[in-house]
Amino acid sequence: MRSLDRFAQMKLDDLERRHLRRALAETVREDGIWVERGGKRLLSFSCNDYLNLSQHPAVKAAAIAAVETYGAGSGASRLVTGNHPLYAELERRLARIKDTEDAVVFGSGYLANAGIIPVLIGRDGLVLIDALAHACLYAGAQLSRGRVVTFHHNDLAHARYLLATHRAEHDDALIVTDGVFSMDGDLAPLGALNDLANEYDAWLMSDDAHGLGVVGGGRGSSFAGPAHVPVPLQMGTLSKAVGAYGGYLCASAAVIELMRNRARTLIYSTGLPPAIVAAAIAALDVIESEPDYIARPVAKARAFTRLTNLPEAQSPIVPVLIGDEEDALAASHRLEDEGFLAVAIRPPTVPAGTARLRLTFTAHHPDDEIERLAQVVRDNILVR
Ligand SMILES: Cc1ncc(COP(=O)(O)O)c(C=O)c1O
């Protein structure tokens, strides 16, 4: 065997031994919630399409119309000829929702985080990052080549201690956190973090991938508390509740203009397909105009946590912690036997020893199925 293949096989064998090998499972999403997978029809609690907008007739119609008008692909980087007219409308809408001067749209959430952080922080800078922040925030922090220091999850005292210890050694400092944590569903204390950032002349960046459309009246985590928190760097993605694709940053006009000039993942990557930008705009129409509808995912998650005596859901994401990887896989299979899809989440997506089922609730999940899921989880998974 060639050394390359030998290397790959050795790595795969190691993953297999540790129950960490993953496989791509072909999944046909029939509508927002029912899927076909491995020959079975399952009710999915493993999808981030919280408002089922990927299937909304107006969203699909907008995408189709954009293909007819502008074609399938954008043809070039936005800075060359890929900046089709729909971008301006989408960025205007995002800035309005987030109450910032401007916004810029990237190819994906991952690309946004990988691009934004290195524009703001260089070798002399400091990035303070929550321990449970998303992998792509870590990727952006590492790409910055600055000093990266992790604070305990949502632990303000630890963040303060690290700033007091390290801030003075660096020219610039950035505090980075998820707004809604992707694997735990809890919210960051954005108000207190913003105060801390101001106190130490650091800049706060929140990743609201799982907040836009579902918390804070649809405007996201900086609007979820008693008072709006003016987080200066509000990043997010259009791939979850918005039901489309792409990432964004909402910030001041100067910061956004700097991103357009310096963010490598924006400059050196092709613009999004027009259909996806049109779909995102149509989805924002729903998010901005249907408050009762957008309240449903969190309400359904709360119904589930009430029925299972789990801590009250703060977002549509509910973790059912299991611990061991093999046990998490077994729990997932148990739910599959009952007709539910709940994919086991294992390290390195979550810390070692915290393998789990990550359940996500959407506007369309039937209440009686949530009750049945709660009963199965209560009787078979939480009792162990
Ligand atoms: C918190 C968070 N940030 C960023 C991303 C990446 O976004 P995207 O899927 O648009 O690349 C995700 C999801 O995958 C996420 O959960």
Please report the pLDDT score of residue 230 as a whole number.
Answer: 98
Q: How many whole angstroms from its chain centre is CA 70?
A: 29
Q: How far apart are CA 23 and CA 326, in angstroms?
A: 15
CB of 237 sitting under 6 A from ligand 1: yes
Q: Which H helix or E strand runs over 360?
A: strand 355-360
d(CA 78, CA 81): 6
pLDDT less than 50: residues of the chain: none
Q: How far is the CA of 185 from the centre of ligand 1 (A)?
A: 14
Question: Which pLDDT score is estimated for 30?
Answer: 86
Assign 3-state DSSP to the chain and report helix, strand, coil percentages, each to 5. 45, 20, 35
Residue positions annotated with a catalytic role? 182, 210, 240
Per-residue confidence (pLDDT) for residue 219, from 0 to 100: 98
207 lines ligand 1 (CB under 6 A): yes
CA of 83 to the centre of ligand 1 (A): 23
pLDDT at 32: 83
pLDDT of residue 377: 96
Atom of ligand 1 nearest to the CA of 136: 4
Number of H helices, E strands in the chain: 14, 14
Query: Where does 52-130 show beta strands of DSSP type E?
Result: 102-106, 126-130
Range list of β-strands (E), 2-101: 27-29, 34-37, 40-44
Q: What is the pTM of this model?
A: 0.96
Tokens 């760097």 locate to 233
237 CA → ligand 1 middle, Å? 6
Find out whether the beta carbon of 215 lies less than 6 Å from any atom of ligand 1: no
Q: Which atom of ligand 1 is nearest to the CA of 113?
A: 4
Is the distance from CB of 301 to CB of 316 less than 8 angstroms?
yes
Q: Which of 366, 376, 320, 375 is nearest to 184 (CA)?
A: 320
Provide the token pair at 33: 């919630």
What pLDDT was estimated at residue 109? Answer: 98
Position 123: which residue type?
R
Q: How far is CA 276 from CA 29, 270, 313, 314, in A?
A: 18, 13, 30, 29
pLDDT score for 384: 60
Under the phi-then-psi rule, with left for phi > 0, alpha for psi from -120 to 50, and beta for the rest, what region is 361?
beta
